Every structure is written in structure tokens, then in C-alpha cells.
Amino acid sequence: MTRSRPLVALGIALALAAFAAPAPLLAQDGGGASLDGGRKERKKSAEELYLEAVGKEFKAKDTSALVERIPEKGKAQLQLGGKDDSYSRTQAKAILDDWFENRSITTCKLKSTKDLVGEFELKFRRKGKDEEVERTLQVTLKRKADDTFVLKALVVQD
């Protein structure tokens, strides 16, 4: 019995060491190289993932997908090209379609998130123009009781 105690202690020490030492992030090929120089990538929050999806839809000019994010019986604040008010889904679709019709979106990249607001680097060209315009797209969300989100506002800042 006394011989097994050192083995048990060794087993416990090895188990603790395994939990204490962070495992390296392995490359896709399984070769053991880390993907990011040994640092682990931070897991994105649900809010960040939702905002990134809105940004992709905005860049793709997918008005149907954007409008689906507005509460069914609610409204969303839109501030785009001279329009600045709260609009229902039907109204928002018409305003977004009109705004997108005259623009080619080249970049819509999430720069920051804080308190349910995402700020995007937005670059676009107006129809018939070569000059690229740079603005900030601000997307505001509202958290629902079930911890999902809806679109509260889309603002293209000058």
C-alpha cells in the first residue's frame, strides 16, 4: 500500500500539469505549427457575430435579409442619404433599395463593438463616379428577452 501512494501522487501531479499548461493551437494540417504564432484567437460573442452578419448583408446589398432583422411589428431607425426617421419593414426595404441602387459597396468591415453598437468602415462608389467615398456605418442592435438580437438602427455617418 505504501508503494502506491507515490504513484498516485505522481498521477495527480501529471494531471494538474496537463491542465495548467495551455495546449498549442494546431494548424489545419495537423503538423503541430500554431496558426497565429502561439496565441489563441479570441472567441467572438453572439453580438459580434450578429453584427458581422449585418455587415455582410449590407455589403451584399441584401435588403431582404436586413429587413428581416427588423422586429416584425416594430420599426428601425434609418439614417441614409437624406432619410432620417424610424421605418417599418416595408418602408425600410424601399429606402434601402433606393440607397443601394445608386451605390457599389466596396468595403464594409467591422471596426469596433460596444454596448450593442457596431461601427463599420464603409467604402462605396456612387453610380457613374470613379471616386471612392469613405464613411462610417453604425449598426445598433436591441437584445431580446431570449438573448437574441434585432436591428434597431442603421446610420451612415458623414
Question: What is the pLDDT, as a whole number, of residue 3?
Answer: 52
> Per this entry, what is the length of the chain?
158
Residue 66: Cβ within 10 Å count: 24
Kindly report whether the global pTM for this prediction surpasses the value 0.75: no
Question: What is the pLDDT, as a whole number, of residue 21?
Answer: 41
pLDDT tens for each residue of 73-84:
999 999 998 899
* The pLDDT of residue 51 is above 70: yes
pLDDT band at residue 2, thresholds of 50, 70 and 90? low
Q: State the Cα–Cα distance between residues 78 and 153, nearest whole angstrom.
A: 6
Which CATH number is associated with domain 46-157? 3.10.450.50
Q: Where are the domains of the chain?
A: 1-41, 46-157
Rounded to a whole number, what is the largest CA-CA distance in the chain? 87
SS3 9: helix
Name every residue whose Cβ is closer than 8 Å to that of residue 45 and which is 6 or more positions away in sequence: 113
